[in-house]
Each structure stands twice: as structure tokens, then as C-alpha cells.
Chains A and B, each alone.
Chain A
Amino acid sequence: MLLSVKNLHTWFRHQGRTIKAVDDVSFEIDRGETFCLVGESGSGKSITALSIMRLLPGTNLDRHDGEIRFQAQGEASVGLTSLSEAEMRQVRGGQIAMIFQEPMSSLNPVFTIGEQILEAVQLHFPELSEEDAWARVMLALREVQLPDPETRVQSYPHQLSGGQRQRVMIAMAMACEPDLLIADEPTTALDVTVQREILRLMKALQQRTGMAILFITHDFGVVSEIADRVGVMQKGKLVEVGQTEQLIRRPQHSYSKALIAALPENLARHAPHTPVSDAEPLIRLRQFQIHFPVRKGLFRREVDRVRAVDGVDLEIPRGQILALVGESGSGKTTLGRGILRLTEPTGGQVDFDNTDITQLDRRQLRRFRRHMQIIFQDPISSLNPRLSIAGIITEPMKVHGIGENQEQRLEIARDLLAQVQMEEDALWRYPHEFSGGQRQRIGIARALSLNPSFIVCDEITSALDVSVQAEILRMLLDLRAERGLTLLFITHNIGVVEYVSDRTAVMYQGRIVEQGPTADIINRPQEQYTQQLIAAVPRVRF
């Protein structure tokens, strides 16, 4: 056994209270294998990893309990909890290396990447000469396939892309040839195509060096790509451990079952709407573009433009859900806000029910807004923290003259809350009293309060756990059927696209590269970019 964790408990101090963050966790990792810890946010998976490394900040950590034994190649087994701090430092980086979720903030911004890797090398191989150490740095950079390592070694972290930074992190971890690599959600912040490359790289490195990987993620797709064995965590407890295929196919514990059932891939499909052939599209974009000027030089002259949305033609038929898919920076969010004129378009037109809304003046636009609404990604910042839920929902109604008096509007608000499955007494509470999923429901209720016919949903489930995501998506589909809503569903999650949408448009560098019925796009992509994108999505197989 390379690593064996027995009865690990970790207590945390938080605002005067002691919280049990890790509760009686036991597992083992063998040489050369990949063990995945899966769980929703707050399940204690990262804290388990940090407990093994003994990296929890001293101000919060109350105490550990339990046994963590580690046996490096050709050495005796040691109990990590009983090592002195100096001995533990030899283990950290040297025998157990760790990489993190945010490659940007995890690298020191004021040192070059070469210097940062060199530091690790010189720390664990003090006998190496300066040149040898540098040679090792270069070797590590080549191993992680960083393009043009000779020049990149002098770069600062901010000069690299997200994927390159994560490669650097891996190079730093691999430079000292550890026996175990702990990867804490290393691909969560990356786009799917980059994620695939990083996962492939990690697999290749593992095969070459025979190290073990403890991989922490919330994404079952990634699990099925990389893991040999999986452990499922819930509220600090490890509820089930098993071979990946077995666990995903036949989960035993009720929580694992619920978790796997909530994956968008496993949700019961709804019958796709067939467009009524003679129905006019509700939304029609023609040569729609949003450019941002880039100003430079002594007099801030416009020297270039960022073409965020660059000539988009798109139709959304009435009563249908169009999914807009793309990687970060593809312009999909800008497009969504541009349709509502929250970001001013710089060209083209948007026909809403045959009215060109780009031609409306401020006052007309304000009246027109009740027909189209938006729901946001971040449930925390999308509600005004100073207003009660009643205020948040009724104010737009009042402005647009819905309901004759405040009593009636409150009555409508109660109905809306019931529709999004919230208690009535939520009306008099403030946003901070609700969880992320509840706030997202309130956001939906707010959007519905004006009884719009079109809603832009901007990544509304990406900040939520899968179980909450499933509930929200189901609810949204019900509401659509009930009210005949037309939705533009912006997302990067292909599973969600498949579950929710009738049609799909793929966006890349400000343009729509391909659009059509969802099933066609997913199963028979025509364009090269779409093919890459679909292929890169980690799927729950078996």
C-alpha cells in the first residue's frame, strides 16, 4: 500500500464553533493507481486531501485524529501525522506533490515559472548543481508538453493561458518525482477541450512514472475518464468506495444512487418539440455584432476592436429552448446580454416578434423589457442584498403596472414562489438567508413576475451541485410547458444541453459555427470545431 488513511477525523474552528469537516474516513491507494474522491461542495473532499498533506491553516484547524500511513518507493512506512514539521516538509513536494484548482492564483505572480519550479527542485535535490537543476526544470517542462519551453521558462504566470499554467503546476509537481500526486479539482476551471488534454497528460505521466494519483472532483464524467477506483463523500463521510465501473453502474449507497441519478445524462428525457413549421420565430438575429474598442497610446485612440460577437444570424422559434454552447471567451454571454440590450449592440438587428429592438429609444425599450427577462449564473450576486424577497419580486411589477395595488402584487408574488417550489414566508426574508439553489429559484420567480415570453438563462446551473441542478432544470422544463416560454439557454455543459434543449447553436470566437436540432448536433456534428468540442466532453460511460 502506498497510502492508507484510517479513521481520519478533522475538526475545524469556525466563528467560535467547532465543526467536524472530515468524519471517520478510511481508504487506501495503491502504487500506480488513480483514486477519485467525488462529492458535492462542502462534502469534505478537499479537506481530506489537505489533511493528508497537513496543509490546513493553523488558525482554523482544531485537531486531527486517525492514522495516515505512507510508504515511499524503497522506504519504510511512516505515519504522516506523527512526523515532525521538518520531516513532513521532506515528504511534501518530494514524495507527495499537490496541484490545485486555480492555476492562476496558485502560482506566485512575481516569479517566473522557471524560478518557481527550480525552487522545488533545489529544495528536494540540494546536491544538484545550478545547471543540473535547470536541466531538470527544462526536462519537466518538456514532459508536460509546454509549447516552446526554452522561452516559456522565463515567462511569468500571467503570460500563459489557463491550460499552460496547469501544465506548469504539473511540471512543478513532477519535477521531484513524487510517489503520489494529489490533484484537487485540477480541471474544473478549464474549458472542456483543455480539460481533455490535461487529463490525457496526467494519464501518460502516470503510465511512465508509475506514480499514484488522488484525484478530487465533483464531475462524474471526469471520474469515468480517469479513475480506477472511486470514493463518494457526503457531509464529511466516505459513504461508498468501489471500482469505478461497478460504482457508476450499480451504486449501493442511497446517496451515490441519488447523485448518479441526478446527472443530466441520466435524467428522464423529455420529448423534443417539433417546430410548428409555419410558426414565426420569436427572436431573429441578423448580422448581430458587439465590438469593444481597444484604446492605446498617448491619446487613447482606438487601435483595434475586440469582436466579442461578430455577425451572428440566429432564430429562436416560439416555445422552444435553444441551447447556446461554447467555451469561455466565445462570446456567448455577451450575445445573451446583447439580445436584451444590457450590452449595447454595435451592429445588426434583433427582431422580437417582428419588432426591431435595436431601434427602440430608452423609454420604449424600458416598456418593452417586460417581454424578455434574464436569469444569471451567480446566485449570490444576482439578488440585491438590501431588499426583501417581496421587494425584489414586486418592484418590477409595480413599474410595469402589473397588479392594481401592493396587496395584489404580493398575491402574485406568493403564487410565483409556489411555482418555483418555495415557501410563502420567504417573501419577508432577505437573500442572505437562502442557499444557492433557493436563490436561483427566487431569480426565476423574479424573471417570471413580468410574465415574459422570452428568457435568457445564462449558465444558471453551473454554480450549483448536480442534485440541485437536476431539480432546477426539471422545474424550468415544467414552467416552459405551462407558460409556453421561449428560452435561450447558455451553457458549457453538454449533458445539460442534451437534457434541456430542442435546438443547439455552437459558438466559437464570436461566431455561430453550427446550429440545428440538438440530437443532430450532439450525435452527428458536421463542423470540425463542434466535433472536437463534443469529443472532449467527459462522458459517464459503462
Chain B
Amino acid sequence: MLTYLLRRLLLMFPTLLGITLVVFVVMASSPGGITAESLVEGQNLDPEAKKEITAYYNRLYGLDDPAWMQYLRWLNNASPIGFTFDEQNELSGFSFTKGSDLGKSFRYGRPVTDLLAERVPITVLLNVLSIPLVYLLALLVGVRAAVERGRSFDISSGMVMLGLWSVPTMLAGVLLIGFFANEQYWHWFPTAGLSERVVMDQVFLPHWSNLWDLGLLFLLVTLSAALFLAMASAARQWRMGFIGLSWVVLGAAMVWQLPEAGRSPLLWLMIPGAFALLAVWLASTDYRLLRQLGFLSTGLLVGLLLAVYGMQGEWLRGFLLDRVWHLVLPVVCLSYGGFAGLAKLTRTAVLENLLSDYARTARAKGLAESAVLWRHVFRNSLLPLITVAASLLPSLLAGSVIVESIFSIEGMGKLAVEAVQTRDRELVLSITLIGGMLTLLGYLLADFLYALADPRVSYD
């Protein structure tokens, strides 16, 4: 195992080298390339100043050297061990402790390391929130689809998942922002960023001036959640009627929220109607877990709305709640595609194992179908999903580029777009390096987890 890990780590170096080389070659061989001239081009300066700045850039970044020289220099600087140079740019020796220096951004004029230290955690936060969400929901749907293979839940969820998978992230983002963060429609969420400036100085947790309000909130949410959860197990007609009615009311309230001009008679019919249909479908499904989840979230929502309506005093949102409020739309936008893809994979994996010989053995032992599923099949089905987790990471990173651009979140994705647009060589190279490193480590971690989960694998 240790040799295997070592081998993999060693193999990472040529790959990382290759990644940066590819990107560097692309930049260097492009028409115009990266020269000091191309950097000052757009600026409106008189020729003298232009010349000065060009010379300055050349001195600073060595842009007048041949391309291979530039790459080697960058590589030497970025690598934690390498040659050292003195003030006059003369070779002064070889050091194992010189440390890694990713250079200075052309555009920001700041060390790349600082920029990355600011931006990477934000992107990682988005992804760390998305991945568990993606897995949880995908397992919920995928397992059930496999169990119900060939029946209506399987077929309809298959179609919906394929559809969801086909929705371009930017369309989802634009529509979500357009309808739910825009004053023309429902202004429920913020349009940009991760925090409001005002809450930066506020307390971390939400704060109520009136304690009764907090009690009220707590009481209403608990009561309503309990009521809805109980109704989830009621007789079919009862629960269908109950949830349908709740959603009609919610839908009507939603239309009421629109600015006056936007409320057309069609909307009054359409939104509550569509909500009711969805709710009735939810109530009619035999999938108990899904039903309970749907009812519970409705209950929480209703309780929350009632409490907000009934609260008297002032309250401060606090940093945490504000952050969550800002993250809702971006995380939804980042997650749905991966969720849909993973749900389909889960279905395939579970189905394959449900039909396997060992599942038949387990049934022949006298185990109940649920025990066969959750004890025997489930664990084996997780194995292929571990491998998928690794490839999920690059696609989520790519998704962050779009999501961060739409929601104006200052993360690594947005930085990447800005970097290539401004031809910021140091920044582009470093982002590629970091992105590649994260991805490769993801693959390695997945392999390692796989070996832990599957006793058949021993990397000798």
C-alpha cells in the first residue's frame, strides 16, 4: 500500500509538469503571446511612458527572454527546491529550502499566493457544501429507482434526472437570479457576493431583541414540522388533500408577493396549480422516506413563514445566517447537475448488485429484502461511487467558474476567468497548478478510500 501511494505521488510530478507546460505553451504560442507590449496595449499612455513601463515589465517578469527560458524560470521559482539567484540575477547555488514562490500577478500586482489564499477557500466552501448534498440526494433517488426498476418511479425519475442533467448551469443561474433575487419578481435572495457589508460587524449568530419571538419561532416551527410529519403517514386521500391544500396556499402567497404589475390571472392559476400537482404526486408516492422528507420540509417552511409573520420585535440576522442566505442559490446551482448524474450512476450500481449472485445467496439465507438491500447490496454499490467522487471534483471546479461568475462570488473560478481575460501569466499558471493538484489529490484519495472499502483491492 505504502509503495503504491509513493508510486502514485511520484507519478503526480510529471503530470503536474505536463499540465503547466501545456498551459504555458498555449499562452506562449498564441498570436501576440505574452509580451510586455501586450500588457500595456490597452492603456492610454504617451509613447515615452509606455516604453518605460514595457521596460519595467520586462525587467520584472523577464518577458523579453525566450519562451523556454521563461518557463524554466517559472518552474524553478514555483518548485520548493531549486536554484537560487542573487540580486544581479546570477546563479548563486542550489537550495532545498528556498520555498515555493508563485510570482506576482500582472494585473493585481500582488503575490499570487496571497490572491489564492483569499480565493481558494471560497471555492472550496462552495464545493464542500455541495458534495454531501449531491451524494445524499443522489443516493435517496438512485437506490429507490433501482429497487423499483421498470416501474413508474424508475422511469419518471430517470427522465427527470436526464433532463436535470441537461439544464445548462448558466441557464439555471440566470433564471434563479432573475426570478428569486430580482426586484421585478421575488426579491428573496441577494443577487451577488457572499455577505452583506452591514453584517460584517454584527454578531455571528442571529440575535433577537425580544425573547418571546425566539420562543414563538421555535414553537411554530416544531409544531408545524410535527404536524406535517405526522400527516406524511396518514391515509392516502388525507395526506394528498392536506399537502395539496398547503401548497395551493403557499403558491397563492407566492403570487401575492409579486409586485402589483406582475400579478396576472394566468399566474394566479398556474403557480398554485403546479405546486398542488407536485405536492399531490409527492403524497401519492409509496416511497416513504421521500414523502417524509417532502412533508417535513414543507412543515419547516410553513412554520418559519408563520413565525416571521407573527414576530413583533427587531432581530439581527448575524453573520452565519447571512452567509447561509447568500449561499442558497449558488449551492443549488452548483449541485443539481452532479446530483442528477450521480443519481443515474447510483441506480446502475445498485441495480447491478441487486441482481448479483451474492444478493441471491443472501435471500436464500432468509434475509428480508430490506436487509439484502441495505446490508449487502448498498455497501457494494458504494464502491463505484467512490471512484466517481474523484471525477466529480473537476466538474464541480468547472461549475464553480460559471456559478461564481453569475453570482459575483470572489472565488477561484471567477479569478480564473479574469486571469485569462487579462492574460495574467503568473495567475493562469498557478491556478492551473492548484486546480490540477486538487484534482490529482482527489483521484489519489478516491483510490485510497476504495482500497479501504474493498478488501479485494490491495495495491501491491
Contact = CB atoms under 8 A, between A and B. Distances in A.
A93 B360 contact: no
A89 interface: yes
A55 interface: yes
Nearest to B363: A55
A182 to B, nearest CB: 8
A109 B455 contact: yes
A93 B365 contact: yes
Given A59-B149, A158-B455, A105 B356 contact: yes
A3 to B, nearest CB: 16
A93 B164 CA distance: 44
Interface string A424-442: 0000000000000000000
Contacts of B454: 109-110
Interface in A261-302: 296-298
B358 interface: yes
Contact of B376 (A89, A108, A123): A108
A59 B6 CA distance: 47
Given A59-B150, A156-B456, A298-B3, A106 B365 contact: no
A454 to B, nearest CB: 40
Most A CB contacts (10 A, CB to CB) among B363, B364, B379, B455 go to: B364
Given A102-B357, A108-B376, A94 B7 contact: no
Interface residues of B, number: 29
Interface string A228-262: 00000000000000000000000000000000000
A107 B456 CA distance: 13
A108 B383 CA distance: 13
A97 B357 contact: no
Contacts of A355: none
A120 B366 contact: yes
Contacts of A93: 364-367
Given A105-B358, A108-B376, A110-B454, A89 B367 contact: yes
A124 interface: yes
B350 to A, nearest CB: 14
A53 interface: yes
B455 A156 contact: yes
B357 A109 contact: no
B361 interface: yes
A123 B3 contact: no
Nearest to B7: A298
A172 interface: yes
A90 interface: yes
Nearest to B361: A106
A120 B380 contact: no
A453 to B, nearest CB: 44
B360 A106 contact: yes
B362 interface: yes
A211 interface: no
Given A108-B380, A110-B455, A97 B364 contact: yes
16 contacts: A86-B368, A92-B363, A93-B367, A98-B364, A100-B357, A105-B356, A106-B361, A107-B361, A109-B456, A110-B453, A110-B454, A119-B362, A119-B365, A156-B455, A172-B365, A297-B3
Given A55-B364, A94-B366, A100-B360, 11 more contacts: A57-B355, A86-B368, A93-B367, A100-B361, A106-B360, A107-B358, A107-B361, A110-B379, A110-B453, A111-B376, A119-B365
Interface of B: 3, 6-7, 10, 149-150, 355-358, 360-368, 375-376, 379-380, 383, 453-456, 460
